[in-house]
A and B are shown apart, each in its own frame.
Chain A
Amino acid sequence: AQSVTQLDSQVPVFEEAPVELRCNYSSSVSVYLFWYVQYPNQGLQLLLKYLSGSTLVKGINGFEAEFNKSQTSFHLRKPSVHISDTAEYFCASLRGSTLGRLYFGRGTQLTVWP
Chain B
Amino acid sequence: EPEVTQTPSHQVTQMGQEVILRCVPISNHLYFYWYRQILGQKVEFLVSFYNNEISEKSEIFDDQFSVERPDGSNFTLKIRSTKLEDSAMYFCASSEDRGEQYFGPGTRLTVT
The yes or no verdict on A and B being binding partners is: no
Question: A: which residues have CB within 8 A of B?
Answer: none
Question: B: which residues have CB within 8 A of A?
Answer: none
